[in-house]
Structure 1
Amino acid sequence: MKPAQMERTPFADLDSQPSEMTAMLLAALEAMGRHPEIRRVRRTAMQALRPEPGARLLDAGSGAGDVARWLATKVGPAGEVIALDYSAATISAAVQRHDGSNVRYMTGDVSAMTLPPDSVDGVWCERVLQHVDDADVAIAELIRVTRPRGRICLIDTDWGSLAFDGVPSRLATTVVANMHGRLTPRQADMGRTLRRRLIAARLADVTATPVTCVFGDPASAAVVLPMVNPVVPEQAWTTPPGVRDEWFSYVDAAGDRGDFLAILTIWVVTGTVA
């Protein structure tokens, strides 16, 4: 009998959402990609991956394709980027946003790809493994499709690092304790485990860089942190009755005072396939 799958967040199961929710989630992904802190994480990852002109790269879990198109500028006209995503709706949105660069879009499961072995020179996989049922299976697939001496760059969130100031600590603790599985993935510690996973997979030259994202006002935090975003539907919350309204009243007050603070660490981990 197959083991029961963990409850998926809307981001992990986008094709099953109503069209209005799909549009909202795609807009949220694009807004995250424009956020200065996420852009800082991506710059760190790009420096770690070190893509070369002429390389063939895989963006595993490519979303609307903004990173894939950025990678295409690094590999140049002689290279290629494969943008792979589980969601057909997301790939359709990516195709609509295509800018003529050398990116090939395809649907696929990062844990069971149809790409042949040793078919890419490098892999970018951003905030995907926190959503899959078995991250080590997915990592093994990423290694399988990467040629020897190719680079793999994994970027993922450590939701356990999330902390707030300017709001009551007991209320923040309640919100964070109730968020996993609905507002954020159950695999909340994925970011901090990536280094261990790549070492266990026998990759060489493993490096791990924590990037602490700092959000100094609620509007900035709401782009990345769903529990600070009042647009997230109330039915997505699993907190006790009244907690959501109380939480947002304190968040808004901290924003008005100017002392709201949220911090979240995202890890960038790279390794070389032996």
Structure 2
Amino acid sequence: MEPAQKDRTPFSDIDGLSDQMSEIVLEAITEMARHPEILRIRQTALDMLRPAPGQRLLDAGSGSGEVARLLAARVGGAGEVLAVDHSSAVTAAAVGRHDGSNVRYLTGDVAALDLPADSVDGVWCERVLQHVDDADATIGELLRVTRPGGRLCLVDTDWGSLAFDGMPGGLGAVVMAHVNGHFTPRQFDMGRTLRRRLVAAGLRDVTTTPVTCLFTSPESAAVILPMVNPRVPEAAWATPPGLRDEWLACVDAAGQSGTFLAVLTIWVAVGTKN
């Protein structure tokens, strides 16, 4: 794990987790890839990136490879997708799920890519920048490897938009005060800053789309939101004794009564390199 990708969230250093937490995070990555709201976000991003046959694309922070394989289907046999992730465990999981498409899986740091300049036609970077220390420098590295006229597609979360209903508001505020920067990264507002960052980096034709994820049950929300997931062990929480159990009991009660609600905005931003 390179320093540029260290943070306090479990997703930031998967290889450094305990076996139990590593299993939970790997399972979460798989479940997220199947979630209807994540699929909706990815469809929005695909429509904006517009991958084409024959292109060579980079999936920077590729996880278990679902997007890389999706991109490979778009670029076809004449194209190629480079799937780069900092975690060797996640990369191994991606290789194990390979479908025979034209994807090459690599372990590496998205802030210091082992690729020549102007070597890819486009970049997909999903929910990665929120975890790096210097998002602008990382964007600069993604632009370095993108040829002129190539497109950069960034997808990231605005954790500041997270809101709940159906549970006591005061309790939720106390819980979030403890889990912010623990379950959520320090760059909690990354999604809303993507447009500014792409404009500042000199890209043209920058477009942005906010996608608001809606969760009307604790089970659906738990796939994306660790603070409502009872499978996350108590040792992983940063709350005082008893607060986790009190909060999760309220979440469960809201689910039982049908009043649970959670919303979270994830942004898609695309621009073209001059």
Q: TM-score range by the shorter chain?
A: over 0.9
2:78 and 2:5 map into 1 onto residues whose CA distance is: 41
Q: Residues 30-54 of structure 1: CA distance to partner in whole angstroms, max 9, x if unpaired?
A: 1001000011000000000000110
2:123 and 2:4 map into 1 onto residues whose CA distance is: 29
Matches within 5 A, 1:1-274: 7-274=7-274
1:232 and 1:77 map into 2 onto residues whose CA distance is: 41
Contact 1:203 1:271 in 2 (8 A): yes
- How far apart are residue 20 of structure 1 and its match? 3.4
Indicate how the Cα distance of structure 1 residues 60 and 221 shifts in structure 2: closer, same or farther if over 3 A, else same. Answer: same
Q: Which letter does structure 2 place at the counterpart of 1:86?
A: H
- How far apart are residue 174 of structure 1 and its match? 1.3
Contact 1:6 1:186 in 2 (8 A): no
1:50 and 1:7 map into 2 onto residues whose CA distance is: 32
1:8 and 1:242 map into 2 onto residues whose CA distance is: 22
Contact 2:130 2:190 in 1 (8 A): yes
Task: Return 5+ residue gaps in structure 1 as ranges.
Answer: none
2:223 and 2:250 map into 1 onto residues whose CA distance is: 18
1:109 and 1:119 map into 2 onto residues whose CA distance is: 17
Q: Which letter does structure 2 place at the counterpart of 1:63?
A: G
Q: Which letter does structure 2 place at the counterpart of 1:196?
A: R
Q: Which letter does structure 2 place at the counterpart of 1:266?
A: I
Q: Which letter does structure 1 place at the counterpart of 2:140?
A: A
1:4 and 1:89 map into 2 onto residues whose CA distance is: 18
Aligned-pair identity (%):
67
Contact 2:4 2:134 in 1 (8 A): no
Q: Which letter does structure 1 place at the counterpart of 2:197?
A: R
Could you tell me the TM-score, scaled by structure 1's length? 0.96
2:233 and 2:199 map into 1 onto residues whose CA distance is: 40
2:144 and 2:203 map into 1 onto residues whose CA distance is: 12
1:6 and 1:240 map into 2 onto residues whose CA distance is: 25
2:15 and 2:6 map into 1 onto residues whose CA distance is: 17
Q: Which letter does structure 2 place at the counterpart of 1:224?
A: I
2:37 and 2:65 map into 1 onto residues whose CA distance is: 18
1:248 and 1:25 map into 2 onto residues whose CA distance is: 19
SS of residue matched to 1:113: coil
Q: Which letter does structure 1 place at the counterpart of 2:211?
A: V
Q: Which letter does structure 2 place at the counterpart of 1:218?
A: P
Segment of structure 1 superposing worse, 173-182 or 201-210: 173-182
SS of residue matched to 1:130: helix
- How far apart are residue 6 of structure 1 and its match? 6.4
SS of residue matched to 1:151: strand
- How far apart are residue 21 of structure 1 and its match? 2.5
1:136 and 1:4 map into 2 onto residues whose CA distance is: 11
Contact 2:6 2:12 in 1 (8 A): no
Q: Residues 25-82 of structure 1: CA distance to partner in whole angstroms, max 9, x if unpaired?
A: 1111010010000110000000000001100000000000011001000001110000
Contact 1:174 1:239 in 2 (8 A): no
- How far apart are residue 7 of structure 1 and its match? 3.8
Contact 1:32 1:223 in 2 (8 A): yes
Contact 2:4 2:133 in 1 (8 A): no
